[in-house]
Chain A
């Protein structure tokens, strides 16, 4: 055996020992804790254990697995315009009929990109955890985020975790940011809205907000209402293909359809008239609204869009929405008028008419 060979062999043995040690250390990093403690946010071993055993396996994808400090995207042909958005989720309770904070955090940010006409290509996740959080609760939320990201086909490419002292946060707060690519032919522009344009709504309103409200223990109402949380980017793509001159798309989340329409009216200084009878509202949502004295058009949605399209493309737009599972109950609910300036009006079912204003000072706890 030459010297060189001897050195090589001993090196290889040494490398083998190092590898075994690494595996052992890796095993030691396995997460045994049942609750989140401050050390899970320390940046040390516990943090790594949490990331390696809870977060990475759930969100696994090449960009994330590279372990770099930033996700690096390949440039995409025709991607002249890039959209970026961020949103934080502090919903209480964490779990509610049909969904949870994790799914909401993924779909919500995807939808902010989608209604801007962007195809989402990656999400970041920032977790703020309260000391003492049950690890199983975290696992459930993370699994739900992974499922939602997978279902939407949008990877979670980077993330961060912090732990705060008990009482400084409410179990889990999630921030997600998203990046998307705007198709070269997209012409979404609120300023293009004209008198005579038509307002479309992709389905039943108020499901999400009412599901969360009823999940709170203070309200002892039983009703069969589940969140509508869903990713809208495919529905938007269909809509834009069928009605390329669509002026604007919005996802009516907090503040509901009324607030989204008021934003449009006040920005364009035009009027929007909605026919109350044409707005799809599920019976249990209507019933709960009657009991609680709420307006369905003020209740949050997490899987609906409103679109303003030129009248001549309205029918194509409606058919496109109805051809997708998330838009099968879509309806034309109103139109754009010149007067009264910057106002949304509602023609009531009994034949009267009134102002439909933004929601003011909701005394109920946060819902998304």
Chain B
């Protein structure tokens, strides 16, 4: 298959693995992949098997489903239960637990919750159901925010009156900063998010090298992409020349996608602060609809409880999202918390570190003599 097979050719991957081994000189190197898409690809293809033991990949906060705090799901369910509302959401948000059940549970109890593949599908729902209020549950980083923005612009142009957006878009840079500033963080570099970068470009990542002296390589999602990005990171370290590099040049342009950024700017503005699961409140890290779009803002049109719910005590999603612990070091991983019965959001999305570990990675843990779900295995 073109554009896929080229990046999965075993010979090429083996050469990259050998190069990683050579460049790492046996030194311990800890690299964070920011994006959940990378976490998923690493486990799906078993890439950790191909890396030398001294090169460790840790998982970052870039899973949009995982970083939504529990209180926002409570808010979503409260909107979904409003009589007359059709609540449209991406499929994997449906299983994220709130303080009392998930959207899927709300649906079973009678709320009209439907899953859509894009916000435009939600707008179509609104057009087809003129007597109902359609609310779109907008989540995601700069990757999905532009399509929400484009949908808002279209809704305005069409004069839609029964379509609103419950906006939970977040931005990646403040989260990376928060991780770099959190105490006890010892990272040697970042694999940068490929899809987000197609929108925001490379410049926003410059501070990682400039202010923190760490390399960052924006990477594609195929096995060869990720392995090559690790090579590029190690090379920067050898050359002692830390900077932003673009491994994903076939997709990512240095200046990003200006039109997408304009649409976001036209429809959304930074919130003064927003709560992230695990990372707490981070200022200027999320987007809300602009005043001009208040008519499309579910938070304006519906009474939203806006409650703050603390995560279940046993759940350590926060530590996982900061890369402070591995998923299997969480007390409930694989026992009380599994993809069938997730306690924390990291176990829900296929991009969540816990789900990726659970679905694909358990075997490698067993080979290392670490039983999945063992709390005693914390390092």
Chain A contacts for B363, CB-based, 8 A = 340, 343, 345, 353-355
B252-293 CB contacts (< 8 Å) to partner A: none
Is B46 touching A352 in the complex (CB atoms < 8 A)?
A: yes
Is the CB of B203 closer than 8 A to any CB of chain A? no
Is A351 touching B10 in the complex (CB atoms < 8 A)?
A: yes
Is B49 touching A352 in the complex (CB atoms < 8 A)?
A: yes
Chain A contacts for B50, CB-based, 8 A = 350-352
Chain A 181-196: CB-based contact to B (< 8 A → 1; otherwise 0):
0000000000000000
Q: Which of B114-122, B145-153, B323-331 touches A?
A: B114-122
Given A340-B363, A355-B361, A355-B362, do A348 and B46 touch, yes or no (CB 8 Å)? Answer: yes
B367: nearest chain-A partner, CB-CB? A340
Partner of A218, one of B117, B359, B361: B117
Chain A 335-357: CB-based contact to B (< 8 A → 1; otherwise 0):
00000100101111111111101
Chain A contacts for B10, CB-based, 8 A = 349-351
Q: Which of A124-132, A134-142, A162-170, A283-291 touches B?
A: A283-291
For the complex, what is the distance from the CA of A343 to the CA of B361, rounded to whole Å? 12
Chain B 343-371: CB-based contact to A (< 8 A → 1; otherwise 0):
00000001000000011111110100000
Is B91 touching A364 in the complex (CB atoms < 8 A)?
A: yes
For the complex, what is the distance from the CA of A286 to the CA of B5, rounded to whole Å? 11
B353 CB to nearest chain A CB (Å): 15
For the complex, what is the distance from the CA of A340 to the CA of B1, rounded to whole Å? 32
Partner of B359, one of A283, A340, A357, A364: A357
Is A363 touching B46 in the complex (CB atoms < 8 A)?
A: no
Partner of B46, one of A219, A293, A354: A354
Chain A contacts for B8, CB-based, 8 A = 349-350
Chain B contacts for A353, CB-based, 8 A = 46, 49, 363-364
Chain A contacts for B359, CB-based, 8 A = 355, 357, 360
Is B350 touching A293 in the complex (CB atoms < 8 A)?
A: yes
Chain A contacts for B366, CB-based, 8 A = 340
For the complex, what is the distance from the CA of A283 to the CA of B5, rounded to whole Å? 11
Chain A contacts for B318, CB-based, 8 A = none
B372: nearest chain-A partner, CB-CB? A355
Chain B contacts for A283, CB-based, 8 A = 1
Is the CB of A361 closer than 8 A to any CB of chain B? yes
Given A218-B121, A360-B339, do A351 and B94 touch, yes or no (CB 8 Å)? Answer: no
B357: nearest chain-A partner, CB-CB? A355
Is the CB of B59 closer than 8 A to any CB of chain A? no
Given A293-B350, A340-B366, do A218 and B116 touch, yes or no (CB 8 Å)? Answer: yes
Chain A contacts for B362, CB-based, 8 A = 343, 355
For the complex, what is the distance from the CA of A346 to the CA of B121, rounded to whole Å? 36
For the complex, what is the distance from the CA of A363 to the CA of B91, rounded to whole Å? 6
Is A352 touching B47 in the complex (CB atoms < 8 A)?
A: yes
Is the CB of B340 closer than 8 A to any CB of chain A? yes
B63 CB to nearest chain A CB (Å): 13
B70-97 CB contacts (< 8 Å) to partner A: 91-92, 94-95
Chain B contacts for A364, CB-based, 8 A = 91
Chain A contacts for B364, CB-based, 8 A = 353-354
Chain A contacts for B358, CB-based, 8 A = 357
A344 CB to nearest chain B CB (Å): 10
A345: nearest chain-B partner, CB-CB? B363
Is the CB of B238 closer than 8 A to any CB of chain A? no
Partner of B14, one of A346, A348, A351: A351
Is A351 touching B13 in the complex (CB atoms < 8 A)?
A: yes
Give the most central of B14, B117, B363: most A CB within 10 Å: B363
For the complex, what is the distance from the CA of A346 to the CA of B91, rounded to whole Å? 26
Is A352 touching B121 in the complex (CB atoms < 8 A)?
A: no
Is B360 touching A350 in the complex (CB atoms < 8 A)?
A: no
Is the CB of B108 closer than 8 A to any CB of chain A? no
Is the CB of B48 closer than 8 A to any CB of chain A? yes
For the complex, what is the distance from the CA of A357 to the CA of B43, rounded to whole Å? 13
Give the most central of A218, A353, A355, A360: most B CB within 10 Å: A355
B105 CB to nearest chain A CB (Å): 13
B363: nearest chain-A partner, CB-CB? A355
For the complex, what is the distance from the CA of A287 to the CA of B364, rounded to whole Å? 28
Chain A contacts for B116, CB-based, 8 A = 218
For the complex, what is the distance from the CA of A360 to the CA of B342, rounded to whole Å? 11
Chain B contacts for A355, CB-based, 8 A = 359-363
Chain B contacts for A352, CB-based, 8 A = 45-50, 223
Chain A contacts for B4, CB-based, 8 A = 286-287, 290
Is the CB of B44 closer than 8 A to any CB of chain A? yes
B376 CB to nearest chain A CB (Å): 19
B152 CB to nearest chain A CB (Å): 21
A279 CB to nearest chain B CB (Å): 14
Partner of A354, one of B1, B92, B121, B360: B360
For the complex, what is the distance from the CA of A355 to the CA of B359, rounded to whole Å? 6
B286 CB to nearest chain A CB (Å): 25
Is B1 touching A361 in the complex (CB atoms < 8 A)?
A: no
Chain A contacts for B1, CB-based, 8 A = 283, 286-287, 290
For the complex, what is the distance from the CA of A352 to the CA of B45, rounded to whole Å? 6
A343: nearest chain-B partner, CB-CB? B363
Chain B contacts for A290, CB-based, 8 A = 1, 4
Chain A contacts for B13, CB-based, 8 A = 350-351
For the complex, what is the distance from the CA of A293 to the CA of B362, rounded to whole Å? 20
For the complex, what is the distance from the CA of A297 to the CA of B347, rounded to whole Å? 21
Instruction: List the 9 closest pairs (A to B, CB-CB), nearest first.
Output: A352-B46, A363-B91, A354-B360, A360-B339, A352-B49, A354-B46, A350-B13, A350-B223, A348-B46
7 contacts between A and B (CB under 8 A): A219-B117, A340-B363, A350-B8, A350-B47, A352-B46, A352-B223, A354-B363
Q: Interface of B with A (CB < 8 Å)?
A: 1, 4, 8, 10, 13-14, 43-50, 91-92, 94-95, 115-117, 121, 223, 339-340, 350, 358-364, 366
**Given A351-B46, A352-B48, 20 more pairs with CB closer than 8 A:** A219-B117, A286-B4, A287-B1, A290-B4, A345-B363, A346-B46, A349-B10, A350-B13, A350-B47, A352-B46, A352-B49, A354-B43, A354-B45, A354-B360, A355-B360, A357-B360, A360-B340, A360-B359, A361-B340, A363-B92
Q: Interface of A with B (CB < 8 Å)?
A: 218-219, 283, 286-287, 290, 293, 340, 343, 345-355, 357, 360-361, 363-364
